[in-house]
Amino acid sequence: MYGPSVKSFNRFAGIGRTESGEGMSNEVNYVAAARRHLNDGRLLLEQGRRANAGQLFGFSIECGLKALLLASGVAQGTDGGIAGQDPNTGKRHPLRTHMPSLSANIDTHGHLIRDGSQMTRYMAMLPSLQHGRDWDVNYRYWDESRIPLSSVPGWQQAAVEANDMLDQVQLDGVLS
């Protein structure tokens, strides 16, 4: 079987967590985070808060990709996220990074993805991903006048596609 065990999927998907979250501190849940960031980004966009909406759309894209990476067999860390170190080299894991580096690193470090054909299939569901390549995690520190706000609709579309892709991954039983 390719990829992490069902137990690992359940852990990063948040299954088995108590309602209060007890006993599961610092658990990464990329699927829930992708959905939360998309929904909150939409609310901010409706309020005219394009810079912060755009930031959340970028994080939604990133979380969707990271969930897919784990589902495709990328090494998982103890926090449920992508491992901090590449298990083969002991160096910082190149897929534990932010967009747009994450998107580029998927292309250049494909050998770290155990089920590459699965990854390719789902990545094909993200035709707007290129719009996320001008998003930067550091925009959160910038003056709004310096952020490319004209890119927000593209970031939103890519975030919607990432969440739709997660729906399909779940329907296919790859994620629980």
Backbone phi and psi for residue 76, each to the nearest 5 degrees, phi listed first: -105, 140
Q: Percent of the chain beyond pLDDT 90?
A: 59
Bridge partner residues of 92 (DSSP): 85
Do the domain assignments include residue 176?
A: no
Show the domain range for 72.
6-171
CA dist., res. 63 & res. 66, Å (int): 5
Q: How many residues comprise the chain?
A: 176
Q: Which residue shows structure tokens 């970028």?
A: 58
Residues 6 or more apart whose CB falls under 8 angstroms from that of 164 comprise 125
Question: 1 in a domain, yes or no?
Answer: no
pLDDT of 26 = 67
Is residue 70 domain-resident?
yes
User: 2-49 pLDDT, tens per residue?
Assistant: 344 444 444 444 444 434 444 445 689 999 999 999 999 999 999 999
For residue 142, tell me if it sits in a domain: yes
- Whether residue 11 is contained in a domain is answered as yes
Q: Name the domain count of the chain.
A: 1
Token pair in block for residue 142: 């910038």
Could you tell me the pTM of the whole model?
Answer: 0.83
* Rounded Cα distance, 69 and 115, in Å: 9
